Chain A
Amino acid sequence: MSPAIGATLNRVDGRYKVRGESRYSAEVPVPNLAHAVVVNAKVASGRITSIDTSEAERATGVLAVLTHRNLGRVANVPRLLPSLAGLAAPGQTFFPMQDETVHYGGQPVAIVVADTIERADHAGTLIRFEYETTPATTLLDQARDRAYVPERIFGGLLPGQGSRGDVAKALAEAEVCVDATYRFAPNHHNPIEMSASTAIWDDVDRLTIYDSTQGPNAVQLTVAELLGLPPISIRVVSHAVGGSFGSKAMVWHHPTLAALAARHVGRPVRLVLTREQMFTSCGHREEQEQRITVGARADGRITALRHHKISLTSPFDDWAEPSLQSAAVAYLNPNYEGVYHLVRGNTITPTFMRAPGEATGMFALECAMDELAERVGIDPLELRMRNYSDTDPESGKPWSSSGLRECLQRAAELFGWHDRDPRPGSRREGQWLIGTGLASALYPVTQPVNPQRAKARIYNDGTAVVEAGVSEFGTGVFTAMTQVAADALGLPVERVRFVGGSSNLPNITAAVGSAGTSAVGSAVHVTACELRDQLIRRAVGDDHSPLHGADPARVEVRDGKMVLADHPDVGETYSDLLHRTMTPDVEVLGTWNPPPQDAGYGIHTFGAQMAEVAVDAELGVVRVRRMVGVFAPGRVLNRKLAHSQLMGGMLWGLGQALMEATRMDPRLGRWANASLADYLVPVNADAPDVVVDTVEMRDDVVNPIGIKGVGEIGVVGAAAAIANAVHHATGRRCYELPITLEKLL
């Protein structure tokens, strides 16, 4: 039996998906279901002075109209903490509909519950609001002078600033200096499935919520705290989730609102956000600007890096996506200063979005590196090699594993980097200017802070079920977990089933920050190994077993049969053992204790990105022709899944580079393009030839299965490689994303 890990296994849920049989949270059949529609504030700042709900209440099919006047107060809003912690994880520390104040456009101000969604929606338009508006801040440029340096950012997980060495001095003494400012439009996740919650009260203290989430346990704990109920009262189920990209990583208002509405009308209630509401209800990547100053010697060796970011956050929370983490440690550099500046504005609290922080921070660094390469006259690849650090430059500790150089080299081979003429504008094919660019990719590996658990049960027919709370939001985690469990148990994958997606199952932290697979994978591995070892111990202790008296350490399991490693003909199957001993099943609950964050190693994921673009010389149109991404994500559990994740990430980076921007109308305080027709993401026709490869670097430190995650690293550096390629094609540097054609006219 060849190992399942590393194989190219099709997704275990694939056939349900393509047949349309996967049950999403808005599709779970529930008898007597009512539908809730949220009504949002159309102003960005002010006070509701009057609400007239009478017409809405009279509309056909309406069961209830809820506003701050009759919704009731939530018990307690938990503190902001990324769901990685495994505790309650509200998206923001503000809960709407508690009073008449409006803090941001799109804030929920009413809920209509009706027998059909269309009737609820229509009744929502019949509510008359009057507002007393106050001036709103919705753009960075409106309030730069009010910027402050927060104590901590990112839900308290990271400090607002950091430094080492003497940056000012090193910059003053630098032989070469690149100083550039990069601007980033706000971005929204736009998963294909809109967030949805179906809330069912079986009793006053028994609530089930079907929710589209990255973390059923986080929803359970958050809603419990908001409703003032013990967690035992709430069960959260997430059968299938249609993508998230961070929009379902934190717990936003809709599950709680659905629960409150259901309690109010005494019926199960389903609440599905509209596409437009997805732009104001689950966070976004904030509008931001980053200034990078790199000091170097004439030979390109970096001597100093100053990296400042200014971004817009909400009135409630000091949120900035952590853009400075990877740039700070990407290269050997003794003098460093990184500072976050925040401006409070009238917005929902921003949130995680795929490759949170590094999608922008590494863009800034890698574009500055390209400029540095040009200034010192060194090939951009060579510049990265020259500045490579084999220890974490911040802590001085060795990397648990790196792979940056290997990735760059492999990418260069696959891409044909070495034939490149470095002069900008040197290649032309008809109307097209051709350019190539590269970037390093780094993404931190974040360990869950709390123990991760899983449960494994084997039946006497030799099939096993392994369970953990994690939900399947498109990453293929259920498939990968089936493989991990199969290998640990020594069973073929067909005899193992992984079950997840419920808060009743053993607690696993929300699958965020690329830590999902490693957290649940480690727990599943530890648990399945524990079950296997228990069965082996039973066999060697049983005088009727052919393995009686053997050293358990010398027994291994092949295809469900426990055998002596050096006499594989001696042994018995799990099934034989269990039948003989009249045991229906054996079950264990296993726990993986993550290593502490400072385990004596720097832990990061590395990769390299290369892109070739064609820029229409007169019309400014940019087309990406090909992309090569090589990554070192530790062990690869499933080639196909990893390939899809990494390729998806690279195309995501393409969107970030060329298309994605949410436009704020500051007069209205609302997004002006909150639809998929107006917020552009790449379509198939934009997708170039994408080559993905991995360099497998063994890592025994990070976790027992040696994986670092593939969800985000594919994004990092992709946009920078494209921007650098645009410069190579045209001689123009773009300091603002997305690079739309007018910037190249």
Chain B
Amino acid sequence: MRPISYSRVSDVGTAIGTVAADPHSAFLAGGTNQVDLLRIYVEQPRRLVDINDLPLKQVEELPGGGLRLGGLARMSDVAEHPTVRRRYPMVTESLLLGASPQLRHMASVAGNLMQRVRCTYFRDTEAPCNKRAPGTGCSAMEGVNRGHAVLGTSECCIATHPSDLGVALMALDAVVQTEGPAGQRSIPIDDFYLLPGRTPEREHPLTHGELVTGIDLPPLPVAARSRYIKIRDRESYEFALVAVAVAMSVAGGRIAEIRLALGGVATKPWRARAAERELDGAPATPESFTRAAEAEMAGATPHGMNAFKIELGKRTIVRALTEMAEREGSA
């Protein structure tokens, strides 16, 4: 491990000021991703600013019926929060299906959104990787890429965004609250994640030293009827091959409201807008679901080992919608 300096701060201003002042510094939250990458020399900060004492751990009601998750709230605390469970079950499920209990006790929700990709070449400092070392090439394109993305890819990078929580937030149109040297900002979640394009090293619009202070979940009655399903090679403790976050209401046999997002298949938590367009107002039938799945995956690009994700993605979408519709039907 490189020599680093470490300090612990207790107020937001100092945290931002300290990191902003040193281009080689970074925030340290739960450390479950940061320390891991530090040990393998992928992240190379010289200074770590520990933000775990900042008063950003609450889950609070917002005026108007939304909910604010403090940036440093632990994954496990948010998952178990009764209001989150009741109003946004997909958030709870996305959290509980991620990582392991030990990690969830350590990890913060802001850290979860900010976690780096799991691409094996990104983690191997000797391998070409445009995200880690811009311009060196993408080893995954023709390499071991079974876990890689089929949506939102570019010729520069095909790494899947690993966050499960991010997928649920994308379906909900959550808003990321930040504070930086230039003041406070509210960033819609869709804008918070950047597509790799020609600059895969840039994943977020944040400036150096900008802190994620909270995540706002909008008031959204349909979210109470939502779920998150995650398909993977083992039952627990693994990232998604395909994940689907869905919130849906059905009225008179037709889909009244639909929110659909995908994980495990795209370079950012993926709002399935093409599928939503097909589904909006359509009969809640297997045919509609299949059509929607086809529409969403029409733009997918396979890369060798991950080609199966296109078919698996479609089938998982259909599965999620079918189960939601059955639940709605019986409700």
Contact = CB atoms under 8 A, between A and B. Distances in A.
Contacts of A658: 233-234
Interface string B202-236: 00000000000000000000000000000101111
B1 A619 contact: no
Contact of B1 (A121, A620, A621, A675): A121
A215 to B, nearest CB: 32
B64 to A, nearest CB: 39
A745 B315 CA distance: 10
A118 B144 contact: no
A668 interface: yes
A125 B143 contact: no
B235 A668 contact: no
Contacts of B308: 741-742, 745
A672 B144 contact: yes
A740 B241 CA distance: 11
Nearest to B242: A619
B40 to A, nearest CB: 8
A623 B235 contact: yes
A230 B65 CA distance: 79
Contacts of A118: 1
A397 to B, nearest CB: 44
A431 B120 CA distance: 33
Contact of A673 (B1, B139, B144, B318): B144
Interface residues of A, number: 34
Given A60-B3, A125-B41, A667 B234 contact: no
B231 A619 contact: yes
B235 A619 contact: no
Contact of A742 (B144, B312, B316): B312
Interface stretch (A239-247, A286-294, A681-689): A681-689
Contacts of B124: 668, 670
B120 to A, nearest CB: 5
Contacts of A42: 126
A685 B312 CA distance: 22
B120 A673 contact: yes
A659 interface: yes
Nearest to A620: B312
A672 B319 contact: no
Given A121-B1, A122-B3, A741-B233, A668 B311 contact: no
A677 B316 CA distance: 24
A745 B312 contact: yes
B234 A680 contact: yes
Nearest to A125: B41
A677 B118 contact: yes
A475 B308 CA distance: 41
Contacts of B121: 672
A665 B2 contact: no
A663 interface: yes
A658 B233 CA distance: 8
A667 B236 CA distance: 31
A686 B233 CA distance: 10
A118 B4 CA distance: 11
B144 A663 contact: yes
Contacts of A682: 234
Interface string A672-714: 1101011010111110000000000000000000000000000
B127 interface: yes
Contacts of A130: none
B155 interface: no
A241 to B, nearest CB: 25
B191 interface: no
Among B139, B235, B316, the most chain A Cβ lie within 10 Å of the Cβ of B235
A665 B144 contact: yes
A665 B312 contact: no
B237 interface: yes
Contact of A619 (B123, B146, B315): B315
Nearest to B306: A742
Given A619-B316, A667-B143, A668-B139, A686 B235 contact: yes
B231 A685 contact: no
A682 B232 CA distance: 12
Given A122-B1, A618-B315, A668 B127 contact: yes
B237 A683 contact: yes
A741 B241 contact: yes
Interface in B138-156: 139, 142-144, 146
Q: Which secondary structure dominates chain A's binding surface? A: loop
Contacts, number: 76
Interface residues of B, number: 31
A618 B237 CA distance: 23
B235 A685 contact: yes
A491 B236 CA distance: 47
B120 A678 contact: yes
Contacts of B237: 683, 685
Given A618-B315, A683-B237, A686-B235, A665 B3 contact: no
A672 B143 contact: yes
Interface in B260-311: 308, 311
Interface in B21-41: 41
B139 A665 contact: yes
A663 B1 CA distance: 27
Among A122, A677, A684, the most chain B Cβ lie within 10 Å of the Cβ of A677
A671 to B, nearest CB: 9
A673 B120 CA distance: 7
B234 A685 contact: yes
B238 interface: yes
A318 to B, nearest CB: 29
Contacts of B2: 122
A736 B109 CA distance: 39
Nearest to B241: A741
Interface string B53-96: 00000000000000000000000000000000000000000000
Contacts of A685: 234-237
Interface string B1-26: 11100000000000000000000000
A429 to B, nearest CB: 16
Contacts of A121: 1
Interface string A597-632: 000000000000000000000111101000000000
A673 B139 CA distance: 14
A659 B123 CA distance: 22
A741 B118 contact: no
Nearest to B127: A668
A621 B315 CA distance: 12
Nearest to B142: A667
B311 A745 contact: yes
A427 to B, nearest CB: 20
Interface in A705-745: 740-742, 745
A663 B306 CA distance: 14
A683 B144 CA distance: 23
B184 to A, nearest CB: 35
A736 to B, nearest CB: 13
Contacts of B142: 667
Contacts of B318: 618
Given A668-B143, A678-B120, 19 more contacts: A60-B3, A122-B2, A618-B315, A618-B318, A618-B319, A619-B231, A619-B312, A620-B312, A663-B144, A663-B146, A665-B143, A667-B143, A672-B121, A672-B144, A673-B120, A684-B236, A685-B236, A741-B231, A741-B241
23 contacts: A42-B126, A122-B1, A122-B2, A618-B318, A619-B319, A623-B235, A659-B233, A663-B144, A665-B139, A667-B139, A670-B124, A672-B120, A672-B143, A672-B144, A673-B120, A677-B118, A680-B234, A683-B234, A685-B234, A685-B235, A685-B236, A685-B237, A745-B315
Interface of A: 42, 60, 118, 121-122, 125, 431, 618-621, 623, 658-659, 663, 665, 667-668, 670, 672-673, 675, 677-678, 680, 682-686, 740-742, 745
3 smallest CB-CB distances across A and B, nearest first, come from A685-B235, A742-B308, A672-B144
